[in-house]
Structure 1
Amino acid sequence: MTPASAGGTLHVPIDHHSAVQTAADQARALAWQCRMPGALPDQAAVLASELASNISKHAYDGAVFLQPSPLERGLDVIAVDQGPGIGDIGLSLTDGFSTTRTLGAGLGAVHRIATAFTIRSDAGHGTLAHAQLRAPHAPRPPADVGALCLPADGQTACGDGYALAEHDDVRTGLVIDGLGHGPDAAEATQRALRTFHSCSDAPLPDIISALHRALRHTRGAAAAAIRTAAGTAEYCGVGNIRAAVLTPQGVHRQLTGDAGIVGYHHPRTVSRTFALPRHARVVLYTDGIDPRWTHTPSTVQLRLPPTLLAASLVHTRRRSRDDATVLVLGPHPGTP
């Protein structure tokens, strides 16, 4: 089990039947940490238990990811596997349906309990499921945003991080990769995230400059900011955080930051503005994700919703000896 840093992602490999209980216990504990009221912590445990149990019974190479939802408006329980897939998703969501002679609660219970539930399954590509839980009357997290952020194996502090801000019809995202990993990298990243939230509506080059000033007495970091509005995007970055624009047809565009280290050597950054094709998604990811995924993304990945896409990349392309973050911004609600 990989621990989650503040606001990060908890990773529970489902490699033994005992991991089902571990996933349930960790989901309940995270819900308590998020101060979810009433029966919601127990409901979070049920979601994690049922999704983990499905992996344990029917699949292999699976994991459950647990985290606060983007903008901390709920709790995400995400399950991924490399199993045979589900032949009839609609039938599997029916209470009482079972292929293993059990009570058949499974996905039907998840669908009933979750505030929102998304599932994709494909023969040869396994199954991805995202159950979101939030308190009554809590603001709805943006459905077109997905992110996961994990520390390197053996680390309790994550040197990566991401942030998201919304101003009217404009969305601004930031991904930070503190140099190295561990507590010193995490300190630089947390300082950068606090700085971002104080100036998230500024021009993107000004945001990067503000981060540079804030990180002068830290280890330093790579940083990339993305801003999306209807049909357009703007990118600005320093260091080795990469960006890819995906459409259902393939990789439409790739971008990298300018050479430098935020907090040490800050080149004059210039943002790049470009049109976003219809149904395009922008993916920002740190070097804990193998960039070769952009060479041959599967047709399944190209059509995944943002949260499931982020989970797929982390599960299949993560370099476990480094911190890893993926932020996906889907088509803006105002895109024609």
Structure 2
Amino acid sequence: MDAVTPRRDIWLSLEDASAIGAARRIAIALAKEGGFSEDHTGRIGVAVSEAASNLVKHATAGVMLIRPHPDAATTLEVFSLDGGPGMADVEARIRDGHSTAGTLGIGLGAISRLSDAWDVHSQPGRGTILTMRFHAPGSPQPDERECGMYRPIGDEVACGDAFAVAGRGDTLTAIVCDGLGHGIAAAAASTEAVRVFREHTDATPAVIIERVHEALGGTRGGAVAVVRLDRAARTAAYAGVGNISGWIVHAEGRQGMVSVHGIAGHRARGIREMRYELPPHGLVVLHSDGLTDRWNLSGYPGLLTHSAPVIAGTLLRDWAVRRDDACVLVMRVER
């Protein structure tokens, strides 16, 4: 995510039929900006319309996020999140002509054909997370092993939380920042943290935190955490200041990573870097305090086998608190 470029994440509440057209128009406009062909843009419009129509007709509290990928403007991402009724047999619902009244199965066959990459996780009574990616021909394709999402509080346009990922493949460095408070001033702090991060991605996480701390002195400040993930060695180096939560997640549970108390830009003493061993098929998850620490993935059968976008969407849908900005970053460990 480029710190000097306005964030383009667009959240839509899918409450009535008028929202279907709005979702389609937004997706088409972003696709054209990303250099997609007319034919490809048409496919995107149909796929987004199918997903939006499902939410309006069958979902509970359905929302959609449409955005250019944070690190690849030629990739368009669409997230469809709802709280029910869910589907017991997703594979059956993908087959054209097979749907059950009151479920979101209708349209999945078309979505699977029209998307360049897609994933879905559904649970009866809990809801469905559907993700789609569209890539402009000939453009590099982002790795689905990592995904970050943020959502502003209430009707705020600016989000005080931010994330960024640098690197590709086996070695990644990532930051999550929660600017103090909400709105434009909080967003300015987190945007500055990302800018400094981008300039120092070769440094260790502790040094990056120190540089961010120095740079945020003229802002409200915020909570910041940086992690370096080495998939080949299965290790993570981590440093943080404030209440960003870092977790190592595996099938049996999760392990917390240690941050020090303080506010980057104002009070940040004793910054230290910790090193952790990573499980072979686990996750590294960073999130702001806009997500409750009480989240638990054990109640989502099969979720850990899904892509990072679906896991991030699940965490944001079910564990974000409504009285704060929220940000979550998910990175898979496997090579």
TM-score between both structures, scaled by the size of structure 2: 0.89
* Residue equivalent to 1:128: 129
Q: Which moved more, 1:66-75 or 1:138-147?
A: 66-75
Alignment of 1:286-305 (within 5 A): 286-294=288-296, 297-300=298-301, 301-305=303-307
Provide closer, same or farther for how the CA distance between residues 143 and 167 of structure 1 changes in structure 2, counting only shifts above 3 A.
Answer: closer
2:221 alignment counterpart? 220
- Identity among equivalent positions (%) equals 35
- Separation of aligned partners in 2, 1:323 and 1:192: 16
Q: Report the alpha carbon displacement of residue 330 of structure 1 after superposing the two structures with TM.
A: 0.6
Residue 207 of structure 1: how far off its partner (Å)? 0.5
Q: Does 1:190 align with 2:191?
A: yes
Contact conserved, 1:244 with 1:255, CA < 8 A, in 2? yes
The Cα offsets for residues 220-241 of structure 1, whole Å up to 9 and x where unpaired, read as 1111011111211111100110
Q: Which residue of 2 aligns with 1:281?
A: 283
Q: Which position in structure 1 is the counterpart of 2:248?
A: 245
Q: CA RMSD in A?
A: 2.3
Q: Sort the Cα spacing of 1:181 and 1:127 in 2 relative to 1 into closer, same or farther, 3 A.
A: same
SS of the equivalent of 1:224 reads strand
| Further displaced range: 316-325 or 272-281 | 316-325
Contact 1:8–1:161 (8 Å) recurs in 2: no
Task: Return 20-29 or 109-118, whichever deviates more.
Answer: 20-29
Change beyond 3 A, Cα 1:179–1:41:
farther
Distance apart, 1:143 and its partner CA: 1.4
Q: Structure 1's 134 and 25: CA in aligned 2 closer, same or farther, altered over 3 A?
A: same
Q: Which residue in 1 is equivalent to 2:177?
A: 176
Cα pair 2:93 2:106 within 8 Å, conserved: no
What's 2:156 paired with? 155
User: How far apart in 2 are the matches of 1:30 and 1:57?
Assistant: 25
- 1:233-286 deviation per Cα after TM superposition (whole angstroms, max 9, x unaligned): 1111001100121112222x0134211111112213111111101211011010
Q: Report the residue type matching 2:163 in the other structure.
A: Y
In the aligned structure 2, how far is the partner of 1:234 from the partner of 1:114?
35
Structure 1 position 189, deviation (Å): 1.4
The 1:40–1:186 alpha-carbon spacing in structure 2 relative to 1, beyond 3 Å, is: farther
Q: Call closer, same or farther: CA 1:325–1:198 in 2, change over 3 Å.
A: same
* 1:152 to 1:33, Cα distance in 2 relative to 1, 3 A: farther
On the 8 A contact 1:11/1:64 being kept in 2, the answer is: yes
Matching residue of 2:71: 71
Letter of the 1:238 partner, please give it: V
- AA at the equivalent of 1:280: G
Q: 5+ residue gaps in structure 2?
A: none
Give the equivalent residue in structure 2 for 1:236.
239
For residue 113 of structure 2, what is the aligned residue in structure 1?
112
Contact 2:123 2:300 in 1 (8 A): no
| Inter-partner Cα distance in structure 1 for 2:315 and 2:158 | 21
| 1:18 counterpart residue number | 18
Aligned-partner Cα distance in 1 for 2:289–2:53: 32
Structure 1, residues 185-230: CA drift from partner, whole Å, max 9, x if none? 1111111111111111111111111111221211111110111112
2:81 corresponds to which residue? 80
- In structure 2, the CA distance between the partners of 1:250 and 1:124, relative to structure 1 (3 Å rule), is farther
Residues 69-114 of structure 1: per-residue CA shift (max 9 Å, x gap) = 24225111111222232343333223444546xxx97112211111
Amino acid at match of 1:292: R
SS at match of 1:156: coil
Distance 2:25 2:322 in 1: 24
Structure 1 counterpart of 2:242, which letter?
G
Structure 1: gaps spanning 5 or more residues? none
Q: Which range is displaced more, 84-93 or 173-182?
A: 84-93
Cα separation, 2, equivalents of 1:88 and 1:67: 29
Q: How does 1:83-98 map onto structure 2 within 5 Å?
A: 83-98=84-99
Which of 318, 321, 324 is the matching residue for 1:322? 324
Task: Work out the CA distance in 1 between the residues paired with 2:141 and 2:227.
Answer: 22
Contact residue 306 and residue 330 of structure 1 kept, 8 A:
yes
Match of 2:45 in 1: 45
Task: Summarize the Cα distance change of 1:216–1:86 in structure 2 as closer, same or farther, 3 Å threshold.
Answer: same
- The residue identity in structure 2 corresponding to 1:186 is A
* Cα gap change, 1:168 to 1:245, in 2 (>3 Å): closer
Question: By how many angstroms is 1:37 displaced?
Answer: 4.3
Partner of 2:202: 201
Please give the alpha-carbon distance, in whole angstroms, between the structure 1 residues aligned to 2:6 and 2:243.
23
Read off the aligned partner of 2:247 and give its amino acid letter: A
